[in-house]
Amino acid sequence: MLAQQLLVIAEDGVADSAAMQFALDVGLDARGTTMLRAYAVARVTAIHDLAAAMPEAEDEIELYRTLAAYWLELRFEWQRNNEVMNYQTVLRGSAEPRVIAEGSVGSFMLSRIETLLDPAHLELLAQYALELLANERASAQLKEGVA
């Protein structure tokens, strides 16, 4: 059952260990590490909430659909962190470690969720995310009169 599989990928210790490793990788201090672990826990809790809300077999399609929506949510969150860290990197020479670590946690959670999504469906989701942002860029350029 998908709800049970969700509980496996959202095992608290795995996300927490990953967060602690990312904190070490980027050199976060104790307070930063605590905040990053809370950031990871919040994303794991969202998965627990999904599994708890839709545990029945008859809800499985709805649960899958909502999990796909959560993948998109995390993908766009990762995208935002990616833009912030790389504009910081390019313009200032280095990125804020907190942003890098949060991007890594987001990417880690995306990978966990992807194990439960159909690869063909996942490709469509990624394409959708890509097109949505490309359309936004095109709209913004039109608004600004950029060719």
Partner 1 sequence: MSFVPDAFVSQLPNVSRSSADGLPFGLVQVDDAGVIQLYNKWESEMAAVPVSSAEGKNFFTQVAPCTNNRLVFGKFKDGVAKGEMDSEFNYTFTYKMKPTNVQIRLLRHAASQTNWVLVGMRAA
Residues lying near partner 1 in the complex (CB under 8 A) are found at 21-22, 25-27, 78-79, 81-83, 85-87, 89-90, 93-95, 100-101, 103-104, 106-107, 110-111, 126, 130, 133
- b/e map 32-58, b = 16+ CB within 10 Å: bbebbbebbbebbeebeebbeebbeee
The nearer residue to partner 1, 41 or 126, going by C-beta atoms, is 126
Task: Report, in Å, the least distance between residue 75 CB and partner 1.
Answer: 9
The nearer residue to partner 1, 61 or 132, going by C-beta atoms, is 132
The nearer residue to partner 1, 5 or 79, going by C-beta atoms, is 79
Task: Report, in Å, the least distance between residue 92 CB and partner 1.
Answer: 10
Task: Report, in Å, the least distance between residue 94 CB and partner 1.
Answer: 7
- Residue 14 CB coordination number (10 Å): 15
- 50 vs 8: CA distance, rounded Å: 13
CA atoms within 13 A on the CB side of 34: 2
Task: Report, in Å, the least distance between residue 85 CB and partner 1.
Answer: 5
**Counting beta carbons within 10 angstroms of the beta carbon of residue 62, is it exposed (0 to 12), middle (13 to 18) or buried (19 or more)?**
middle
